[in-house]
Structure 1
């Protein structure tokens, strides 16, 4: 584990300032982000939330752009280098929504931007991945939306497993052993990669160990939101290899 940064160095060292917009019922993003960033004391994380709660989405086919951009604009007041969306909704509808969101965040904040879904898309395209398996906490209909959205980008799903949950908060309560069992079962479908899709789905802590066990890369949306922001900053991410092989790129 990296040595703790001193109180004085915390404010004297060169810094990169990064903001993450995250769903309001989420209890996973901050914990994972801070865990990864212990390797990068030069990165200062900042968080703000947009309303995502319960089982009913009042904007089922798009983002609540007014709320999300207001949240991003508040983060932008701190003159951050990157403002990213660490949420996965766009990947269940159309990747174009996330491209639109990034453009609008950049326009209102003046910061670079990315999303968890677009970070996964970047890795898939760079590595020529066309077949993936999906693990998620959602009900069947939402799982199927994700599969269709990825298919539109040319990514075929070899197998998909879901926990059958609909309330956003409940996603964070799925035990790690349950997620590990899902990943082991998915690996049998011989995908080029496995995607853990939902930023309140606590898969990140077991990604590295399951990658080693199963011999397949695993891309978790929370982890990828952090990796995407670090990449925009041009930071060498290899120090965080214990969070997954994506950091060894």
Structure 2
């Protein structure tokens, strides 16, 4: 007779519920690649409308879309629901705390976001001086830098690709991402942020960290790392995705 695992059984295999922007091509790829090192953990995805070059909700979340996606994920009873999106850095970290509060209130499931994962990682590293690499157009990049500075972080360098359309962020080549990271590394920040969950920076992090000797925090990887911690599953098996997996969370 086969035995089906259940959240009520001690041998239950963990599940992460991921909310991703609708025009995102990177979150699923990177999440599943990281979790290949954690075969007891599965990822399950739901999408909320984020696409094109114009944000229909520039100063807030699309609450109906976000909470609707969370409620759908909750039907699968994941251990954690994660907003694997980077917008909270421009809205303010408090917006993501409110998002998590609402998700948990409606679903009964703990929640986190890429931005709150970043906050935990920077705290663990004791990092205050940061550099920011992103695919964004100049106006949005300025908004992003200002958002980090409002949180008390010192942005000592930045680089961006100048792209406006959300879908096109995923097409930035590895060599261009690595070039931007190397450029901002000359400011010797405490950490370099590769910020945007549709920006495929995760694949260059490990080699560049070894070369530059600076922690590099990719927004998708952060979300997976923090979700694993909240599910009680994070450990150094994920080390090939960066030094982050050697770090505890606060």
Question: Which of the residues 130, 137, 140 maps onto 1:139?
Answer: 137
- The aligned residue for residue 5 of structure 1 is none
1:18-33 superposed matches below 5 A: 18-33=16-31
The answer on 1:65 being equivalent to 2:69 is no
Matched residue pairs, number?
242
CA-to-partner distance for each residue in 1:198-236, whole Å, 9 max, x for gaps? 000000011011000111000000000100100101223
- The aligned counterpart of 2:228 is 230
**Runs of 4+ in structure 1 displaced over 4 angstroms?**
8-13
Alignment partners' CA distance in 2, 1:25 and 1:9:
38
Corresponding residue to 1:14 among 12, 30, 35: 12
1:207 counterpart residue number: 205
Classify the secondary structure of the residue corresponding to 1:114.
Answer: strand
Q: Partners of 1:203 and 1:10 in 2: how far apart? A: 37
Scaled by the length of structure 2, the TM-score of the pair is 0.94
Q: Is the 8 A contact 2:225 2:234 kept in 1?
A: no
- Aligned pairs for 1:10-159 (under 5 A) are 14-159=12-157
Secondary structure at 1:59's aligned position in 2?
coil
Quote the residue 1:221 is aligned against.
219
2:245 corresponds to which of 212, 231, 247: 247
Unaligned runs of 5+ in 1: 1-7
Distance 1:125 1:110 in 2: 27
Q: What is the TM-score of this pair, normalised by structure 1?
A: 0.94
For residue 9 of structure 1, report the CA deviation from its aligned partner. Answer: 9.9
In 2, distance between residues paired with 1:41 and 1:150?
35
Structure 2: state its 5+ residue gaps. none
The alpha carbon displacement at 1:11 in A equals: 6.2
Please give the root-mean-square deviation of Cα atoms over the aligned residues, in Å: 1.5
| Superposition deviation, residue 129 in structure 1 | 1.1
